[in-house]
Structure 1
Amino acid sequence: MSSDIKVTVDGVIYQIQSHGGISRIFSEILPCLCDMDESLSITLLTSGRCRQALPVHRHIYHRSILPIDRLLRPSRLWTAIAPRAKEFIHRPWVGSGKGRIWHSTYYTMPFSWNGALVVTVPDMIYEKFPKYFKASKEFLKRKRRCVEQADKVIAISESTKCDILKYFKISEDKVSVTHLAASNLFKEASQNDKNKLREKFGLNKPFIFYVGSRDTYKNFLMLLKTYFLWKKRRDFDLICVGGASSWSNDEIKVIRRANLNNSVKLFVSVKDEELRTFYSCAYAFVYPSLYEGFGIPLLEAMACSTPVVGSNTSSIPEVVGDAGLYFKPSSKEELLAVLDEVTNGTTLREKLIRKGVNRSKKFTWEETAARTYKIYKEIL
């Protein structure tokens, strides 16, 4: 290949997120893109302190630009004009964009950019659940402007694409889907690693597993309340990894009222290798979310030979396919039924494990990068 593609990526997301999320997408695909095409070069712009390591490759060039936010005192006026002001002030560092692609990680648009514009949209959660997320009017305007003016919009699932088309006035042809993937690290752990993990964390009973934040839209409280009912007929623990480092007041109320202190356990500081082993030890992975843009933990679980029980909403069925069991996220009865189903004997469980491992192999970061590369080629 000799396309001589030059891409500028705003590093905003690396200043916002300390790990995972949107930043993980770019950390995975940018080196892959450079490996695909020796003539492709990426300039990664950052302004101010980053909260995590930036992706490294001989064709990824890190460039720091003036941290405007730290030089000016916060004010209502500044908050309102900041995005456009920064775009104008940063122009000497960013350039005019002629012959280049600007790929936005978090709804930025350089001032008077003459090149192509690409934006990745991970979800439409602010628009779909305004009661849970109080995004500023300025942010929502900036997002809309960036999406509507972009040459190409990348959605991370068909579900997210449908949501974008519902809320924004853009043509369907403008939106392309690039599915995500799990890291190659995630595969079933050895029996030795499983035994060590059980001993280290005191995992003495079979357990169902939950991973990630427990924000309202994640529907964790519904899982917790259902688990209390299910616990009466199945002697399983509920193990949670990640998210807030302590239980919320609402979670504590449920745990105490249901006397679940010894059955529900939370572990926060877990290495990726340990997370893989948690998945591998779990009897089932439960994902009760009301909404997901994609859902990488679903792929991680399947890759680790763990059956998936997920809500039948948004992107979850798109990712899991026929390799999991589903329930309405509002229905305790349906969740109870599928938990019974997946823990009642081994035949179904083994079938789900086999299908899940095969399903997870269909999603790779190399494929994500290849689809992104194709988008770059189309707009130049």
Structure 2
Amino acid sequence: MRLLVDTRWVGKDGIGRFCREIINRLPDFESLPAGPARLSMLDPFWLSYTISRCRPQVFFSPGFNPPLYSSRPFMFTIHDLIHLDIPEEGSPTKRLYYRSIVKPAVKRASRILTVSNYSRQRILEWADVSEEKVTVVGNGISPDFTPEGGRPAMSKPYLLFVGNAKPHKNLQRLLTAYARCGSCHDVDLILCAPRDNLISSWVDELDLGRKVHITGLLDDPELSGYYRGAVALLFPTLYEGFGMPALEAMACGAPVLSSAATSLPEVTGDAALVIDPLDIESITAGIERLIDDSDLRGDLRLRGLKRAKLFSWDATAGVVRGVIEEVADSSD
């Protein structure tokens, strides 16, 4: 089988990691030749031309960039519809791209992959396609994320947040909830997030400069250490296509405080303390419970370790390979 893959997605973000882990487990394939930046105005046209010239049996993108047209079978991956579902996170240009490029391509594609049942249902509703068109492949967990290994040298116990300042991550509410937490006097908050002025301004407004520490972006070995040493991961997200930080924390043995928004129940199951992400008092109460109740933390730790074993990149890649083979067989 001649398989052409868009490997330009490899990177450190969620889609980049998905791409790297999947292509590392695919049989022989060809990477796209050098071309324009993915998601640029030229990209859909260049993909169409390149697929026509290379004539693969199947073209596969681990991201959400389809060709404008294709004479060959193709499949691509929509991890979520956050640019449409959260208006603050989608520019007019991005919404136009989804409406004029992605949505028509969903109907033309041989298959669409996604990472959760929640995202699958949203894609089915949005694109109005048959249920057979969209396949859930899930996500896996890197070998770096285990309960055994190093931890950062910290002078105080700490809670952990992994994310950024985008509205759906709900960091501003989390900081407010932490500032109101009566049990947090001797427990710091570590933000594994980019160092940017917006986050710093929130921290300063709440007078948390001595208790909140921003690490910047970390690679997997460093990040796993922060998970291992944390009192708990705080993940009061408003929207996720999957929710990798929750899975990574569970795999490292960290108790998880989480919302039940969108895809999160699929990831955490019964292994997280669930709060209302829109209610600051609910978030504060959840933080205090985790700090004060060691039995609860121990129970969540065991549940999380068990839950994390349900996810693996080998399993995800196996589903992806199966779909590619089905598409190839149907094109013969």
Distance 1:185 1:264, change over 3 A: same
- Offset of residue 332 of structure 1: 0.9
- Offset of residue 94 of structure 1: 2.6
* Contact 2:5 2:59 (C-alpha < 8 Å) held by counterparts: yes
Q: 1:131 is matched with which residue?
A: 88
2:159 paired residue among 201, 208, 216: 208
Report the Cα distance in structure 2 between the residues aligned to 1:29 and 1:84, rounded to whole angstroms. 22
Distance 1:86 1:351, change over 3 A: same
Whether 1:86 and 2:15 are equivalent positions in the alignment is no
Percent of aligned positions that are identical: 27
Report the Cα distance in structure 1 between the residues aligned to 2:288 and 2:155, rounded to whole angstroms. 20
Q: Which amino acid aligns with 1:42?
A: F
Q: 1:363 is matched with which residue?
A: 311
* Contact 2:52 2:70 (C-alpha < 8 Å) held by counterparts: no
Larger radius of gyration: 1
Report the Cα distance in structure 2 between the residues aligned to 1:219 and 1:30, rounded to whole angstroms. 32
Whether 1:149 and 2:108 are equivalent positions in the alignment is yes
| Residues 284-293 or 24-33, more deviating | 24-33
Q: 1:286 is matched with which residue?
A: 234
Q: 1:43 is matched with which residue?
A: 30
Report the Cα distance in structure 2 between the residues aligned to 1:150 and 1:30, rounded to whole angstroms. 20
* Contact 2:113 2:135 (C-alpha < 8 Å) held by counterparts: yes
Distance 1:92 1:159, change over 3 A: closer
Whether 1:336 and 2:284 are equivalent positions in the alignment is yes
Whether 1:108 and 2:66 are equivalent positions in the alignment is yes
- Offset of residue 235 of structure 1: 2.6
Give secondary structure in 1 for the equivalent of 2:274. Answer: strand
Whether 1:185 and 2:158 are equivalent positions in the alignment is no
Whether 1:246 and 2:196 are equivalent positions in the alignment is yes
Distance 1:277 1:85, change over 3 A: closer
Give secondary structure in 2 for the equivalent of 1:322. Answer: coil
Q: 2:6 is matched with which residue?
A: 10
- TM-score if structure 1 supplies the norm length? 0.79
* Contact 1:309 1:324 (C-alpha < 8 Å) held by counterparts: yes
1:181-208: per-residue Cα shift (whole Å, max 9, x none)?
1101111244xx33xx21xxxx211111
Report the Cα distance in structure 2 between the residues aligned to 1:256 and 1:10, rounded to whole angstroms. 43
Distance 1:151 1:89, change over 3 A: closer
* Contact 1:307 1:353 (C-alpha < 8 Å) held by counterparts: yes
Q: 2:207 is matched with which residue?
A: 259
Q: Would you say how many aligned residue pairs link Structure 1 and Structure 2? A: 324
- Offset of residue 127 of structure 1: 1.3
* Contact 2:68 2:101 (C-alpha < 8 Å) held by counterparts: no
Report the Cα distance in structure 2 between the residues aligned to 1:294 and 1:24, rounded to whole angstroms. 13
Report the Cα distance in structure 1 between the residues aligned to 2:24 and 2:36, rounded to whole angstroms. 29
- Offset of residue 225 of structure 1: 0.8
Give secondary structure in 1 for the equivalent of 2:87. Answer: coil
- Offset of residue 356 of structure 1: 0.3
Report the Cα distance in structure 1 between the residues aligned to 2:44 and 2:145, rounded to whole angstroms. 41
- Offset of residue 270 of structure 1: 3.1
Q: 2:243 is matched with which residue?
A: 295
